């Protein structure tokens, strides 16, 4: 199958991928760029495990073709994590037992990353809405909610102390 060159920005770096026309963006990020933090679960748009940020919006990377990403700005879980240690969202998920097997976690982190980027102090309904497309088969969601609420509360506290 003929491959196509796709130029895009991933986690702040200009990169080029050679992809087949049928290849999903999630598959290409993992296979061509080695960014295996993005998990592919259902591969038909249901579970949300493959969520990444494309041009500022959360996208299910199993539903987007890699060739559609020409010129796009993409952020994956690798780009939403510090080089060393954990982001505040990841740290809160650890602290509040917001993960068990961890399969859903990269997508969950990306959905929360997008929420907190635009709204640092979301309400509980806003958090629920933000993660409503992310399926977790292990946790029952309570630990995830507690983690997200803790991040929001910490932002609120920082704001008061300013």
Contact between 45 and ligand FES by CB under 6 A: the answer reads yes
Contact between 58 and ligand FES by CB under 6 A: the answer reads no
Give the β-pairing of 57-60 and 4-10. Answer: unpaired
Supply angle C-alpha 33, 37, 43, rounded to 5: 90
77 versus 99: smaller Cβ distance to ligand FES = 99
76 versus 139: smaller Cβ distance to ligand FES = 139
100 versus 119: smaller Cβ distance to ligand FES = 100
Contact between 140 and ligand FES by CB under 6 A: the answer reads no
Distance of CA 74 to the CA centre of its chain: 10
C-alpha 149/C-alpha 152 separation (Å) is: 5
Give 85's DSSP letter: S
Within 74-103, the residues that bind ligand FES by CB under 6 A are 99-103
91 versus 120: smaller Cβ distance to ligand FES = 91
Q: Are 114 and 58 in contact (CB under 8 A)?
A: yes
Candidates 12-20, 34-42, 75-83, 115-123 — which segment interacts with ligand FES by CB under 6 A?
34-42
Give the β-pairing of 73-75 and 4-10. Answer: parallel
Contacting positions for ligand FES (CB under 6 A): 40-43, 45-50, 60, 62, 99-105, 136-139
């Amino acid at each position: 199958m003929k491959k196509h060159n796709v130029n895009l920005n991933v986690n702040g770096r200009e990169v080029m991928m050679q992809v087949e026309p049928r290849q999903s963006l999630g598959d290409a990020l993992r296979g061509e760029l080695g960014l295996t933090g993005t998990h592919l679960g259902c591969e038909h748009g249901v579970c949300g495990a493959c969520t990444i940020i494309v041009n500022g919006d959360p996208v299910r990377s199993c539903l987007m073709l890699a060739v559609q990403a020409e010129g796009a700005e993409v952020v994956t879980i690798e780009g939403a994590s510090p080089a060393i240690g954990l982001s505040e969202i990841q740290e809160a998920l650890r602290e509040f037992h917001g993960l068990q097997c961890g399969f859903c976690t990269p997508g969950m982190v990306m959905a929360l990353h997008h929420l907190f980027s635009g709204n640092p102090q979301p309400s509980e309904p806003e958090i629920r809405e933000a993660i409503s497309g992310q399926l977790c088969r292990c946790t029952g969601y309570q630990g995830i909610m507690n983690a997200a609420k803790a991040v929001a509360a910490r932002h609120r506290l920082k704001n008061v102390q300013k």
